[in-house]
Structures are given as C-alpha cells and as structure tokens.
Amino acid sequence: MDQDATRLDDRTALVTGGAAGIGAGIATALARRGAAVVLVDNDETALDRTVAELTQGGCTALGVVADVRERSSTEMMRGAVGELSGGRLDVLVNNVGDHRPWGPFAQTSEEDWTAVYRLNFEHVLRVTRAFLPSMIERRSGSIINVSSVEGLRGVPNCTVYAALKAAVLNFTAGLSTEVGQYGVRVNAIAPDVTDTPQFPLHRLIGPEYHDQIPRWVPLGRFGTPEDHGDVAAFLASDAARWVTGQTIRVDGGTLASPGWFRRDEHRFTNVPRNFI
C-alpha cells in the first residue's frame, strides 16, 4: 500500500445530512481527497451553499434535497448516484440525527418515540438496505454510521435518543460481521461536544466560562466538523482496509472522563460547573 492510502480518487460517496455541521465536514473531507460526493439534506439553502463551496474548490459534488425519513428519498439518492457514477456507490455515510426535543421520559409520548426513531435509526436501516446489495455484489464498500457518545453512556432527558444511538452502534457491529466476507466494511463514529449550527456550543456557554472548557474536555477545546471529517475519510479509505465493526469516539476525550451533574429536578449537565 502506498503512502497516499487515504486518497479516495475514482470513488463515489453519499452523505446524509451533508449540508452543514458534521455532515458537511465529512462530505468536504471526502471530496477533498478525491471522491465524488452526493450530499443529501432537507435544508436546500445550506445544501446549495455547501455544494457550491465544494465545486468552486474543484471538487465533484451533487446536492439532493430530500428528507431521509421519507421512503421516497432513497430513489432520489439512487438517481443522484447514478448521475455521478452510473450507480456505483463506494462510501455511504449515515449521518442524520438529532437529540431534540429533550425532556424527562415520563413526559414523552409514543408519537415522540416514533419521531426520534425515524430521525435517528429508521433511515439508517433504509438507506443502508438501499445501497448494500450493490456493494456486496461488487465485493467492495465502506459504510460509516454517525452515532454519539450518548449511545455509550447513560444520559438524562434524552433516554430514547441515547437508546437509538446505541442501536446504531450495535447495528454497525452486527452488520460488519455479516458483510465482511464480501469486502464491505462497516464502522461508526461517536461524536461529542462539537460546535455546529445544530448545537452551537460557544453560544450556549457564556464566554466567561470558556476558560473552564479544558476541565471538561481533556483535549482542551470543542470539536469541529473537520475533526469528524478526517476520521470518516480515514475509515472510508484503504488506510482503514483492516478496520471494521469499530466505533471511534471523536470526543476530545470526554468519554474517558465522564460525569453527569444534576442542576435541579429536571435539568442535568455533564460539565463541572453551571455553564448553560
């Protein structure tokens, strides 16, 4: 293997939720390493902006405005992959997810559970099922699922979300054992404390407390979408050719030093002081 094993030339990737935040960071990292990338998102404005940034930078990128919770979205994705590569998909990144709304489990409804399920797990099954058979047929492919450190620890007021993120991790491990024989690798990343438009930590935490961040995050700062993009690009590449069934915690070390603290009856924080 040559020293440039992280290059993704002549490969096609698809990233759900690719318009902003971690998804955009992953799409950008893949594209800059040579992959042709399909970005799927329901935010048309953000999607157009990110696709334009990539194409203006010399990358090959195509946007698909779709809601991955809808079954019809898979056909739209297939159409875009067909446009870019004749239908060949080498890298699938299941990124869409959200912890909101949060609150005590006893106050949630079955409708709430269904909504969180559709946003965090159902589409992972559907989109993976849509593209996996062709990967098996070609004996090649990389699937990367974006979970969360909350799938690895107990989290108050987000119990259903955390349970579904744990399901993503177990799905990753189980599927990897099924399809490894066909040359298809399946891995996951588990983010934490990442500054994104979806969860703008620097705005949520007052500047007077920023000097406390190193006490919370062992690496001393919040994560960026680029941090996750580089890890995903590694997992997608031949540099990770012997890596499957793994979950990489992209969390700055927070899960290595965990701790939740209760503020009052219904609110919790996992920071050492009352930041939020």
Q: Is the pLDDT of residue 274 over 70?
A: no
Mean of the per-residue pLDDT values of the chain = 91
The more confident residue out of 269 and 192 is 192
Say how far apart CA 248 and CA 89 lie, in whole Å: 23
Annotated active-site positions, please?
A: 161
pLDDT of residue 258: 67
Residues with Cβ within 8 Å of residue 155, at least 6 apart in sequence? 161, 162, 260
| DSSP sequence for 102-116 | ---GGG--HHHHHHH
DSSP alpha helix (H) spans, the chain:
21-32, 44-56, 73-85, 110-117, 123-138, 159-179, 201-204, 213-216, 225-236
- What is the residue type of 121? F
- Strands 61-65, 91-94: parallel, antiparallel or unpaired by DSSP? unpaired
pTM, to two decimals: 0.91
CB–CB of 192/223 below 8 Å? Answer: yes
The 10s digit of each residue's pLDDT in 211-229 is 777 777 888 888 999 999 9
b (16+ CB within 10 A) / e for 159-194: bbbbbbbbbbbebbbebbeebeeeebbbbbbbbbbb
pLDDT of residue 2: 58
What phi and psi values does residue 247 have, to the nearest 5 degrees?
-115, 120
Lowest mean pLDDT among 86-95, 97-106, 115-124, 237-246: 97-106
Cα distances from 233 to residues 125, 144, 195, 275, in angstroms, run: 22, 10, 19, 33
Say how far apart CA 220 and CA 205 lie, in whole Å: 15
Cα distances from 232 to residues 7, 93, 99, 103, in angstroms, run: 12, 8, 21, 31
Q: Is the pLDDT of residue 265 over 80?
A: no
The 10s digit of each residue's pLDDT in 48-103 is 999 999 999 999 999 999 999 999 999 999 999 999 999 999 999 999 999 877 88
DSSP single-letter state for residue 121: I
Q: Which CATH architecture has domain 12-269?
A: 3-Layer(aba) Sandwich (3.40)
